[in-house]
Amino acid sequence: MKRGVKMSELKKQNREFVLPGEEIVNSIDYLPGKNCFREGNSILSKRIGIVNVKGRVISVIPLSGVYVPRGGDMVIGKIEDIQSSGWIVNINSISDAYLPLSGVREFIDTTKTDLSRFYAVGDVIYGKINYANSHTIHLSMQDPRARKFRSGRIVAMSPAKVPRLIGKEGSMINMIKDAALCRINVGQNGLVWFEGEKEDHVVDAIKLIEREASLDGLTDKVSAMLKEAK
């Protein structure tokens, strides 16, 4: 008879921060997944990141590529599922977010209205992180900036590079908007929506920023690139 997995055996719980070489569990009941390795009975982390426990598989999501949600952040997400009292939203993070009925602007009578009339599976939205802890992420669409995207394009970048894309007091993103003649919404989770006349200019600017985010003179480089692209 196969032994059951005991959560008490975990040295690091699901969604906890972990360092390279740090022990996550000491048990042969678990299997090492991505960014983990076994040493004796133990499973250890290969990377700095967040522990992800799915059944018997232990993996680590590297911090360099994951968005850690914070209250007040504006994010772009995709509706993954519809439940009786809200929506499950993929926000490119360690777990999905939940958009409850209380998080939308309209009153919805669920006995008379199909929730997919508001947000259907596959819809892409721009919402606000209303609440976030290690177990729960709640979204809200009550912020004036919140919306559902019906057209346009979306590209992904490292969430860690988003501040460079935005720039000091919005200087970088406003420069790109003006040069590309595009409307742009930036999600703190590393997803960027845009629509306008010169959409390829936005893509090129994002690639340049992501590639050279740590270098000096980035604003001048992006400005020169946009001028040359006219």
**Alpha carbons 133 and 149: distance in angstroms, whole number:** 27
Residue 223 contacts by C-beta under 8 Å, 6 or more apart in sequence?
A: 175, 179
Stated pTM of the model: 0.75
Q: Which two tokens stand for residue 174?
A: 């406003």
pLDDT at residue number 39? 95
Residue type, 228: E
Mean pLDDT of all residues in 51-66: 84
Helix, strand, coil percentages, rounded to 5, for the chain: 25, 35, 40
E-assigned strands of 40-123? 42-45, 49-54, 57-62, 74-83, 86-90, 97-100
pLDDT value of residue 47: 86
The confidence score (pLDDT) of residue 160 equals 86
Q: What tokens were used for 133?
A: 């802890």
**Residue matched to tokens 């590639």:** 211
> Measured on CA atoms in the order 104, 106, 107, 111, is the torsion positive or negative?
negative
In order of start, what are the domains of the chain with their CATH numbers? Answer: 12-62 (2.40.50.100), 74-149 (2.40.50.140), 153-229 (3.30.1370.10)
3-state secondary structure at position 53: strand
CB atoms within 10 A of CB 201: 20
pLDDT tens digits, 109-131: 888 889 999 999 999 999 999 99
d(CA 2, CA 16): 27
At residue 102, the pLDDT reads 94
- Whether residue 63 is predicted with pLDDT greater than 50 in this model: the reply is yes
CB 176 within 8 A of CB 226: yes
Indicate if the pLDDT at residue 65 is higher than 70. Answer: no
Q: In Å, how far from its chain's centre is CA 197? A: 27
Look at strands 57-62 and 49-54 and give their pairing. antiparallel
Name residue 211's beta-bridge partners: none
